[in-house]
Amino acid sequence: MAYERKQPSLAVALSLVLLLGLASIRLCRGDVVQFIFGDSLSDVGNNNYLTKSLARAALPWYGIDFGSGMPNGRFCNGRTVADIIGDKMGLPRPPAFLDPAVDADAIFKNGLNYASGGGGILNETSSLFIQRFSLYKQIELFQGTQAYMREKIGEAAADKLFGDAYFVVAMGANDFINNYLLPVYSDSWTYNADTFVAHMVTTLSAQLKLLHQLGARRLTFFGLGPMGCIPLQRILQRSSTACQESTNKLALSFNKQAGAAIRELAASLPNATFQFGDVYDYFQDIIDRPYMHGFNNSHAPCCTLGKIRPTLTCTPLSTLCKDRSKYVFWDEYHPTDRANELIALETLKRLNITVVANSTAS
């Protein structure tokens, strides 16, 4: 009797051991994932779920060179810089935070992307877009993810997931383009260039410190490109199609101070591998000498509404340039897939990151 009753419970115990064993093998495999914070340069679909946002890449011809060619939320014809860098490092591409299909398993295997078109370091940036996630908001959402994952996979596994992960933060252009440089925002008359940049960098420093407090150990912050050379900035100048040098100066000043702040955090925070990715001069060279880098046009967007410029966004009524790989810019704000690829490869080189995968799939 007693013997007979023991058998099934032994079997249950054995299978439990087996199950737990498998579970811990899976959790200990140490899948390294990314958590991405950013603006439209890194958005992979969040804003398409923010139905009131005025910054969305929900219509053709966005995504024309990505997968099926349908819009996917990227503000590009193809891949973002973060897509390409992650691919080259052999990391999975994190889904958009607002993607309803995302569950604990997807986060555990792929990480998560909180980037949102219009997002800025400062809360008030891009308020005219009505809906967007600022960097503070994105960090708040990340804290929610942490609580959720602790509940789903346990404290220790969650700590390992976040501690091993790569954090990417790419922000700042909107704080100028859709805040400081527009007189409708009070920041444009509250600050001068120096005090505004200092305010941005102080805020960014606090935000990166907060991410460290939350467990981020490996983090890369991407500096700004020559944003005075985006087609919109050139066309707004009217008198010529040259780059707006005053806007470029703001980007350079921000990069200089943000770089110093990140080096300081890396030196003072325990176990922090914080890096600053800056390819401003390389991007400027692509714009100045497009032919040397395989491009034919570095001043106009590939996607335009005939001769009407600027248009806020690429639309199904727009016409496209003949060869998208020959244009540096896709729309008035954002580089093409090909330009992003060159920027990503140069960033990897400068950060001494070993390329482990040559995947070129989009």
Residue 354 touching ligand NAG (CB under 6 A): no
* Contacting residues for 299 by C-beta, under 8 A, at least 6 apart: 229, 231, 234, 241, 287, 329
In angstroms, the CA 42 to CA 65 distance is 16
Do 164 and 214 touch, CB atoms closer than 8 A?
no
Q: What is the DSSP letter of 300?
A: E
Residue 271 touching ligand NAG (CB under 6 A): yes
Among this protein's residues, is 199 annotated catalytic? no
Q: What is the DSSP letter of 333?
A: S
Residue 356 touching ligand NAG (CB under 6 A): yes
Among 103, 151, 288, 323, binds ligand NAG (CB under 6 A): 323
Q: In this structure, which long-range contacts are made by residues 300-309, counting pairs with CB atoms below 8 Å and at least 24 apart in sequence?
A: 300/231, 300/327, 300/329, 301/231, 301/327, 301/329, 301/330, 301/331, 301/332, 302/77, 302/327, 302/329, 302/330, 302/331, 302/336, 303/61, 303/77, 303/330, 303/331, 309/231, 309/235
Q: How far is the CB of 346 from ligand NAG (least distance, A)?
A: 13
Q: How far is the CB of 18 from ligand NAG (least distance, A)?
A: 31
Q: How far is the CB of 56 from ligand NAG (least distance, A)?
A: 21
- Fill in the amino acid letter for 193: A
Residue 358 touching ligand NAG (CB under 6 A): yes
Q: How far is the CB of 28 from ligand NAG (least distance, A)?
A: 16
DSSP 3-state of 118: coil
Looking at the Cβ atoms of 72 and 188, the one nearer to ligand NAG is 188
Cis? peptide before 189, omega within 30° of 0: no
DSSP 3-state of 113: strand
Phi, psi angle pair for 111, to nearest 5°: 75, -160
Q: Which residue stretch of 15-23, 46-54, 136-144, 250-258 sits at the interface with ligand NAG (rule: CB under 6 A)?
A: 136-144
Subset of 290-309 contacting ligand NAG (CB under 6 A):
296
Q: How far is the CB of 271 from ligand NAG (least distance, A)?
A: 4
Among 123, 143, 273, 359, binds ligand NAG (CB under 6 A): 123
Q: Catalytic one among 40, 53, 126, 134?
A: 40
Among 105, 140, 151, 155, binds ligand NAG (CB under 6 A): 140
Looking at the Cβ atoms of 56 and 212, the one nearer to ligand NAG is 212
Among 136, 148, 191, 282, binds ligand NAG (CB under 6 A): 136
Q: In whole angstroms, what separates CA 151 from the centre of its chain?
A: 27
Q: Catalytic one among 187, 278, 334, 362?
A: 334
In angstroms, the CA 26 to CA 67 distance is 30
Among this protein's residues, is 334 annotated catalytic? yes
Among this protein's residues, is 299 annotated catalytic? no
Site residues for ligand NAG per CB under 6 A:
123, 136-137, 140, 270-271, 296, 323, 326, 351-352, 356, 358
The catalytic residues are 40, 331, 334
